Chains A and B, each alone.
Chain A
Amino acid sequence: MKLKQLEGLLGDLEQFSNPKVELEQYPTGPHIASRMLFTAENSYGDITDKVVADFGCGCGTLSAAAALLDAASVIGFDIDPESLETATLNAEELEVEIDFVQCDITKLELKGLIVDTVVMNPPFGTRKKGADMEFLSAAMKVASKAVYSLHKTSTREHIKRAALRDFNAKSAEVLCELRYDLPKLYKFHKRKEVDIAVDLWRFEPR
Chain B
Amino acid sequence: MRLITHNMLSCNIKGVTNGFPLRIEAGNVIEKEVDFNPDFIRHMFAKIEWKALVEGARSMGYAELPEDSPDAAVLKSDEPFLKKLHHALLELHLEEGALVCPETGRKFPVNKGIPNMLLHEDEV
Contacts and interface: CB of A to CB of B under 8 A. Distances in A.
A101 interface: yes
Give the bracket for the number of chain A residues in contact with chain B: 20 to 34
What range describes how many residues of B lie at the interface? Answer: 20 to 34
Given A73-B4, A102-B115, A103-B117, A97 B12 contact: no
Contacts, number: 76
Contact of B118 (A102, A110, A111, A112): A102
Interface stretch (B41-49, B55-63, B67-75, B76-84): B41-49
Interface in B87-122: 90, 112-119
Decide if the interface of chain B is mainly helix, strand, loop or mixed. loop
A100 to B, nearest CB: 5
B118 A103 contact: yes
A131 B39 CA distance: 37
A84 interface: yes
Contacts of A112: 7-8, 47-49
Nearest to B112: A88
11 contacts: A51-B4, A72-B40, A88-B113, A99-B4, A107-B124, A108-B9, A109-B12, A112-B8, A114-B7, A114-B8, A114-B47
